Chain A
């Protein structure tokens, strides 16, 4: 038994991504059509050229029918995918395996979320009947548990740590301000973020991901066929996924300063891709910054920082747009917004733009010649989450 990976066997040949907004005037089908059309155009092909679809949405639709109906697909297999907030990445992972298996020549992964039709702020999962004992804490509060635990473990002054995570939000807003597709395009300075009223632990709304509607998609084919469609394909270097068993909630050894599922997914992905020093080998990473402490912990779980030193690296600007390893150059969930089913694909879209040299100049990374990008997408809560790590490269080998 092993995770063999499919390094260099599958390539992305087209991508599309809508603006992430409060799209009061657009439904999920409108967003799907827009993302699909952009993606077909990007690959220079049409709907009839796609053999199969993986359709990611957390709770904007059920089954493959809504996608087939929106795009009026003719006798195509459509699989609806759901895996918490990692839904978009999971859809692409399945499409890649389908192509790698030889079952199909081409496949599209498309994710969408229409979150702004619920009538409530934030993301609200619809309830599965249960015995009433499940905690009803918000995700913000669950992730806020990280800060006191981290401060205690590493002896960081809690107020300083609060400023550190505010710096993460500020960095992501800086990047998002340079991204026309992003939901929030205003820079925010650290002092202003720290002055906001706390809503969960020490976190304010400015520590939380934006909540937006949107859609993103990718078309994949076998690597050897990629140049039929584009001169600049993006090759799949690694795809890993871990569904946590919830033991973090039960296990007194778990200390809320790490996400075990993310570290395990990263270890697997690095092995698949042959990466030994991610901080120097990667050109950039898109990580799941649902809340600012999440991004801090991920710097350590993904091996970008040593344990207990992530906060210092954040403060030193290591992960800034012009830093040693740019993180979330598109603004991340924080600034780009988080349409659940689309977010994983949105992350890969930024890798697509940056590694192909297509990112707008004002947010173009200086490290693109390293040729490798990582995307990390999680869902759930500390102690009980799913984690995806994908690695993408613009060269074979």
Chain B
């Protein structure tokens, strides 16, 4: 059988209260949208989701990584290679972008489910931007999701694929020119008609493929960028969507299908049949049945917990500045130089994987990795020490209001890790009044800055909220 080994969603910490938008532009705003921080992009959102998905499936190594987004950081260069590096996947694992279209999210998932690989990791993420006061700004949301797909030979499947179908037709509903913040849309009713018709057609075919009657499908998840069409389709089917996170997160574009699926699976019981319907330039329906193994699928950071943990105090102007819609006057400091590709390449394990080294003779931990030990001076007697899942404590900290940052001030701490090792690091997803000595922090993959179009990725510390990304038991298995 083929199906899902694990799935996870990542909802960034910050939230924009839609009432904040309404307060500026008029009208009414209900609920929140999830907001990627200034140091997050689609690649880092995908990394965070994929870390959680892999964490829930210890010992499984994907043969291929797919990364789907409609908001890629790079064209030409493969963004999935960055995700691959941050996850410390083996060189033999291939990494591909499924980029550009919103449909690539559900498309990559479908492709993985139909492949013959023992395990395939499908990450998807999006930042939904739009101009100020646009429907995408208020209804959109930023998130990542990851699904580890495979055979039951790779590990217990929490849900099996039991049927699928697609429908494709050319019609112009939404479009965006590369580089633009704004997505344009034809008259809404035009796309809606197509989506409802194609959705019903694909749904019927998938149900038949699964050998079921429509009423044997317990839950229907509808994911697509045309929000009105999603509702119209569900209504026509006589269903209430099985996952409702739009009010708290927003519509997350290429990540939406996998995010809804991950959210559903977190609460699912064995033997439930769920249809995931993607409505984006056509219709894709994937029908799963949960297995007994679903009871053991207890993700470290359930999506609903992440939704609860969000910080809704983000001012609208700050949101606009983070997305570049409202460019702020930069501090009068030199901007950072671009990261050197050759230096980054030599130090890729550190920069992308947060792998330090440990001196075999003294046990001293070196962050970054070193060849000569600072304790005892042993030369080239180090073993690699992956630290991205380590938990640490803030020893001392400062707030730097002078340093260059895309969103000043810089919050900076000296962090001592449990089990050894110290590193001075930026702290993210917090505010200057929240941080204190003794705070517990964990590592998160971020984009520090960009220069000459080069995204400078590295790790930061963030406060531990809820369960930490690592437990001792799981640490040894990765």
Residues of chain A at the chain B interface (Cβ within 8 Å): 118, 120-122, 124, 127, 129-133, 135-138, 140-142, 144-145, 148-149, 152, 198-201, 245-247, 249-252, 254-256, 383
Measured between alpha carbons, how far is A133 from B402 in the docked complex, in Å?
19
B276 to chain A, nearest CB (A): 38
**Nearest chain-B residue to A130 (Cβ)?**
B343
Is B470's CB within 8 Å of the partner chain A? no
A131 in contact with B340 (CB, 8 Å): yes
A124 in contact with B399 (CB, 8 Å): no
Nearest 4 A/B pairs, CB to CB: A132-B339, A141-B400, A247-B374, A127-B337
B410 in contact with A129 (CB, 8 Å): no
Is B15's CB within 8 Å of the partner chain A? no
With beta carbons under 8 angstroms apart, the residue of B343, B396, B424, B426 that contacts A131 is B343
A131 in contact with B412 (CB, 8 Å): no
B410 in contact with A141 (CB, 8 Å): yes
11 CB-based A-B contacts, threshold 8 Å: A122-B333, A129-B340, A132-B339, A132-B340, A133-B351, A145-B414, A149-B395, A198-B401, A245-B374, A250-B366, A383-B424
With beta carbons under 8 angstroms apart, the residue of A133, A137, A138, A198 that contacts B350 is A133
B437 in contact with A132 (CB, 8 Å): no
A250 in contact with B365 (CB, 8 Å): yes
Measured between alpha carbons, how far is A383 from B424 in the docked complex, in Å?
10
**Nearest chain-A residue to B367 (Cβ)?**
A250
**Nearest chain-B residue to A383 (Cβ)?**
B424
Residues of chain B at the chain A interface (Cβ within 8 Å): 332-334, 336-340, 343-344, 346-347, 350-351, 364-368, 374, 395-404, 410, 412, 414, 416, 420-426, 437, 448, 456-458
B339 in contact with A130 (CB, 8 Å): yes
B404 in contact with A136 (CB, 8 Å): yes
Which residues does chain B contribute within 8 Å of A247, judged by CB atoms? 374
A138-B403 contact, Cβ under 8 Å, with A131-B339, A249-B423: yes
A326 to chain B, nearest CB (A): 30
Measured between alpha carbons, how far is A254 from B375 in the docked complex, in Å?
13
Measured between alpha carbons, how far is A141 from B412 in the docked complex, in Å?
9
**Nearest chain-B residue to A124 (Cβ)?**
B334
Which residues does chain B contribute within 8 Å of A118, judged by CB atoms? 334
With beta carbons under 8 angstroms apart, the residue of B334, B398, B437 that contacts A152 is B437
A198-B334 contact, Cβ under 8 Å, with A131-B340, A132-B458, A249-B424: no
With beta carbons under 8 angstroms apart, the residue of A137, A149, A254 that contacts B410 is A137
A148 in contact with B365 (CB, 8 Å): no
Measured between alpha carbons, how far is A249 from B437 in the docked complex, in Å?
17
**Nearest chain-B residue to A254 (Cβ)?**
B422
**Nearest chain-B residue to A142 (Cβ)?**
B398
With beta carbons under 8 angstroms apart, the residue of B334, B368, B416 that contacts A133 is B368
B456 in contact with A132 (CB, 8 Å): yes
Which residues does chain A contribute within 8 Å of B396, judged by CB atoms? 145, 148-149, 152, 256
A318 to chain B, nearest CB (A): 27
B337 in contact with A129 (CB, 8 Å): yes
B400 in contact with A200 (CB, 8 Å): yes
**Nearest chain-A residue to B334 (Cβ)?**
A124
- Say what secondary structure dominates the interface of chain B: mixed
A256 in contact with B414 (CB, 8 Å): yes
Which residues does chain B contribute within 8 Å of A149, judged by CB atoms? 395-396
B403 in contact with A249 (CB, 8 Å): no
B424 in contact with A201 (CB, 8 Å): no
A153 to chain B, nearest CB (A): 10
Which residues does chain B contribute within 8 Å of A124, judged by CB atoms? 333-334
Measured between alpha carbons, how far is A68 from B420 in the docked complex, in Å?
52
Measured between alpha carbons, how far is A120 from B456 in the docked complex, in Å?
23
A116 to chain B, nearest CB (A): 14
Measured between alpha carbons, how far is A34 from B75 in the docked complex, in Å?
55
Which residues does chain A contribute within 8 Å of B425, judged by CB atoms? 135
B465 to chain A, nearest CB (A): 23
Measured between alpha carbons, how far is A127 from B340 in the docked complex, in Å?
11
Measured between alpha carbons, how far is A145 from B416 in the docked complex, in Å?
15
With beta carbons under 8 angstroms apart, the residue of A122, A246, A256 that contacts B402 is A122
Measured between alpha carbons, how far is A359 from B426 in the docked complex, in Å?
46
A136-B401 contact, Cβ under 8 Å, with A249-B422, A251-B374, A252-B420: no
Measured between alpha carbons, how far is A132 from B351 in the docked complex, in Å?
8
A145 in contact with B337 (CB, 8 Å): no
Which residues does chain A contribute within 8 Å of B340, judged by CB atoms? 129-132
A191 to chain B, nearest CB (A): 22
A148 in contact with B346 (CB, 8 Å): no
With beta carbons under 8 angstroms apart, the residue of A129, A131, A199 that contacts B401 is A199
Which residues does chain A contribute within 8 Å of B404, judged by CB atoms? 136
Measured between alpha carbons, how far is A69 from B364 in the docked complex, in Å?
50
Which residues does chain B contribute within 8 Å of A137, judged by CB atoms? 398, 400, 403, 410, 412, 424
Measured between alpha carbons, how far is A152 from B395 in the docked complex, in Å?
10
Measured between alpha carbons, how far is A254 from B332 in the docked complex, in Å?
33
A294 to chain B, nearest CB (A): 14
Measured between alpha carbons, how far is A254 from B424 in the docked complex, in Å?
12
A250-B422 contact, Cβ under 8 Å, with A120-B333, A137-B412: yes
**Nearest chain-B residue to A203 (Cβ)?**
B398
B416 in contact with A252 (CB, 8 Å): yes
A313 to chain B, nearest CB (A): 23
Measured between alpha carbons, how far is A121 from B401 in the docked complex, in Å?
13
Measured between alpha carbons, how far is A140 from B410 in the docked complex, in Å?
12
